[in-house]
Structure 1
Amino acid sequence: MAAASIDTKPFSPFEWLLASRYLRARRKEGFVSVIAAVSFLGIMLGVATLIIVMAVMNGFRKDLFAKILGLNGHVVVYKIGEPFTDYPDIAKAVARARGVEHAIPLIEGQVMVSSAVQASGAAVRGIQEADLKALKLVSDNIRYGSLDGFDQSGGLAIGMRLANSMRINVGDTLTIISPRGAATPFGTAPRSKTYPVTAIFELGMSEYDKTMIFMPLSEAQRYFSKLGEVDILEVVISDPENVDDAAISIRTEAGPTINVTDWRQRNETFFTVLEVERNVMFIILSLIVLVAALNIISGLMMLVKDKGRDIAILRTMGASKGSVMRIFLITGASIGIVGTLAGLLIGVVFCRYIEEIRQFVAWVAGTKVFDPNVYYLTRLPADINPVETGSIVAMAMTLSVLATLYPSWRASRLDPVEALRYE
């Protein structure tokens, strides 16, 4: 006759003891042990992969965000249908707007550049020396030459990749050709002029280093036949995320003759694609954790079936249904929780040394693992978001615990009489 069930204190030492014994399967229970090991590895690798991929996606977004906004203004002020000749007054008015740090007059143009050995397309930006130095992304990354005396030099500041492709250095000359030249009886003749290179910068974003050229504003006005005017004012604000309030204040200060657009509108497609890709990757990689959690269910179901006699003896000795359920709950949850913590550790360490790992893999494979010409950036970024990482860990642990509920409930419902009938 079975003893009366005595409901012990939840998660008492004897429950932990039995759960730990079940995790250390004997030789004849090797198959159950293999399933538990596979479940552990699945959750560990799933969590680690999810953390690493999301950190890399965050790093991509953060670095691209920093590069794009470090070179371009957060708000662009321009005019439609009339020359932008009153830009000094507009710039002073814009500078009074809430949250504005400074306004940069610019001339922009697409040109062809050529040297003695190569020709390529490029984007020219006419800018004043003080404004160029205020762009820390450029002024802090000058590799050769200097920006001192940029306005009076009549020279160019070009990207490192463009300099390498043109095979030129500081002091060499670069010919700029614009299709919009002087009008002649035979049509428009391209404008061509040779300039010395006074500075070479490296921004770390291959697209900018390969195509960007800075020219003194006064020289750009002469070259593009825009004396006394500019194309746009690029406005740098203190909080790029709060660009809507700044845009309203700029409109109020500058008056009705100007139009404005912000960095989100100019790069909307690019950042939308990044966000969609990031969300899809999260969903796809979460399936790895879900599959590993399903492995816990199958492993526990086999363990419950294998331990039917043990469960029956525990029940006849007075163990309650709750105790039996908690024993198997601890057994299954331990696999998931320890696997999650191991995956967290691996993911954080991998992200910490991701650039060294990339270089090692590239050395072993003998090829480029992260080609800057394809991925824009010159190094593999990884930025771990604590909130996002915490949500990944919480999700994995929750799935691990939920996966143990049904097998544990089945174990608690086992009838001791039926289990021992043929023993």
Structure 2
Amino acid sequence: MFKPLSIFIGLRYTAAKRSNHFISFISMASMLGLMLGVAALIVVLSVMNGFDRELKQRILGMVPHATISGYGKPLDNWSELIEQLESNPEVIAAAPFVQAQGMLTSRGVVRGAMVNGINPEIEKNVSILGNHIESGSLDALNEQRFGIVLGEILARYLGAKIGDKVTLVLPEASVSVAGVVPRLKRFTVVGIFSVGAELDANLAYIHMRDAAKIKRIGEGVDGIRLKFDDLFTAPTKVRAIAAELDGYYYASDWTRTHGNLFQAIQLEKRMIGLLLFLIVLVAAFNIVSTLVMVVTDKKADVAILRTLGATPGRIMRIFMVQGTVIGILGTCLGTLLGVLLALNIAGIIAWVEETFAIQFLDPNVYFISTFPSDLQWNDVGIITSTALIISFLATIYPAWRAAKTDPAEALRYE
């Protein structure tokens, strides 16, 4: 089978057993370094994507994608407003809410909390709360019994279990015959939820009618929570929707409450990716050093090829082929290893934890106890193509040096 001379000789140089074992070792080390760098980059970015996905599903499954509320006054026409909002094709679901900041007390312990008044039936359409009830039931919330659903960490702080009483204290004073006293109400714990995030420590849910009575807003609600198919388009969509409504409404979205958290994750992902990319860059420099030593070792061969009529361009292509083969092998092996590890990282970590009796993620500290992994093929494509391009660029200078070899000077002492 016909092969171009530069490819044929370049492949022979790559596969040949060298008398200089140090060069062979450096060549193998550069290929392994590239392989490990690519694999590490794929695995770490997949784990970062997994954490990002878990946070989106858990935190943004609990907090509103967007809200529409009145300017300093409750919404009395919320039923008609929900029908109007749900008629918009961009809105998946809408639910009313009443919100209050207060303190919960039980057994002498006081904790601050954000208390959300909800309609349990409608709330299931816009929130994952019903899927994360650890004990009790969300349906137990009703306006007759003044029930409350607590986050798991909040309930643990208060020492509250199902059936226990907790007292909600609002930062508003009421005037009575006894003087000025804070507004408070006793609730019965009817459920405990756990989404495995900081929300478990500061969120509580009651029926919206109970919340409206405590806040004394009659039949109105504080606002309407919206759910979109794509949460990243919520900021622009909710403002456009609010502008189309009759009257004046205030639009807000998740970026104002939890945007900093996701920006921090994205920044962390970029910085870790940059640091690991340096590993690939170091491996590429190893290819440069390998080829420089090969060129020095093969000066006599290059000189003979030049005397036989090989052009400088052909000599350059010979050594570029050799370096590119090292880069391709290292990148392909690294991609294969990285993909396999990324797809099985949870099982591997579980086996390590069980074998060596260690725990990487304590569920009492972190919001998840397993390593999530979300392998995104566009990341794999970018990493692989970048590694190949860097490997190819790393071959240019050594190959150019080889092409500049003077035959007479190289053969003088042979």
Tell me if both proteins adopt one fold, taking TM over 0.5 as the criterion. Answer: yes
What's the counterpart of residue 219 of structure 2? Answer: 228
Rounded to whole Å, the distance in 2 between the matches of 1:317 and 1:117 is 95
Rounded to whole Å, the distance in 2 between the matches of 1:201 and 1:307 is 70
What's the counterpart of residue 18 of structure 2? Answer: 25
SS state at 1:171 partner: coil
SS state at 1:125 partner: strand
Q: Summarize deviations over 1:211-256 as a string: whole Å, max 9, x none.
A: 2211111111223333322222111123333335632552244223
SS state at 1:16 partner: helix
Task: Answer yes or no: is the 8 Å Cα contact 1:117–1:167 preserved in 2.
Answer: no
Q: Which moved further from structure 2: 360-369 or 257-266? A: 360-369
SS state at 1:82 partner: coil
1:130 aligns with 2:118: no
SS state at 1:261 partner: strand
Matched residue type, 2:389: T
Which of 121, 126, 130 pairs up with 1:139?
130
SS state at 1:148 partner: helix
> Alpha carbons of 1:8 and 1:324: their partners in 2 closer, same or farther (altered >3 Å)?
farther
Root-mean-square deviation (CA, aligned residues, Å) is 2.9
Task: Answer yes or no: is the 8 Å Cα contact 1:144–1:201 preserved in 2.
Answer: yes
Matched residue type, 1:91: I
What's the counterpart of residue 387 of structure 1? Answer: 378
Q: 1:176-325 counterparts in 2 under 5 A?
A: 176-184=168-176, 188-204=180-196, 206-243=197-234, 246-325=237-316
Task: Answer yes or no: is the 8 Å Cα contact 1:179–1:189 preserved in 2.
Answer: no
Relative to the length of structure 1, the TM-score reads: 0.86
Matched residue type, 1:25: R
1:10 is displaced (CA, Å) by 5.5
Task: Answer yes or no: is the 8 Å Cα contact 2:126–2:226 preserved in 1.
Answer: no
1:154 aligns with 2:149: no
Task: Answer yes or no: is the 8 Å Cα contact 2:59–2:199 preserved in 1.
Answer: no
Return 5+ residue gaps in structure 2 as ranges.
none
- Percent identity over the alignment is 34
Matched residue type, 1:177: V
What's the counterpart of residue 3 of structure 1? Answer: none
Task: Answer yes or no: is the 8 Å Cα contact 1:361–1:369 preserved in 2.
Answer: no
Rounded to whole Å, the distance in 1 between the matches of 2:126 and 2:281 is 47
1:175 aligns with 2:170: no
Rounded to whole Å, the distance in 1 between the matches of 2:91 and 2:355 is 49
What's the counterpart of residue 44 of structure 1? Answer: 35
What's the counterpart of residue 402 of structure 1? Answer: 393
Which of 15, 29, 51 pairs up with 1:60?
51
Matched residue type, 2:18: A
> Alpha carbons of 1:225 and 1:216: their partners in 2 closer, same or farther (altered >3 Å)?
same
Aligned length: 412
Return 5+ residue gaps in structure 1 as ranges.
1-6
Relative to the length of structure 2, the TM-score reads: 0.88
Rounded to whole Å, the distance in 2 between the matches of 1:301 and 1:231 is 71
Matched residue type, 1:81: G
Rounded to whole Å, the distance in 1 between the matches of 2:15 and 2:180 is 85
> Alpha carbons of 1:184 and 1:150: their partners in 2 closer, same or farther (altered >3 Å)?
closer
Rounded to whole Å, the distance in 1 between the matches of 2:69 and 2:29 is 61
Rounded to whole Å, the distance in 2 between the matches of 1:188 and 1:130 is 37
1:75 aligns with 2:89: no
Matched residue type, 1:202: S
Rounded to whole Å, the distance in 2 between the matches of 1:15 and 1:299 is 14
Q: Which moved further from structure 2: 252-261 or 310-319? A: 310-319
1:328 aligns with 2:327: no
1:90 aligns with 2:81: yes
Matched residue type, 1:275: Q
1:169 is displaced (CA, Å) by 3.2
Q: Which moved further from structure 2: 178-187 or 396-405? A: 178-187
Task: Answer yes or no: is the 8 Å Cα contact 1:158–1:212 preserved in 2.
Answer: yes
Rounded to whole Å, the distance in 2 between the matches of 1:225 and 1:368 is 49
1:320 is displaced (CA, Å) by 4.5
Rounded to whole Å, the distance in 1 between the matches of 2:178 and 2:354 is 57
Rounded to whole Å, the distance in 2 between the matches of 1:294 and 1:185 is 83
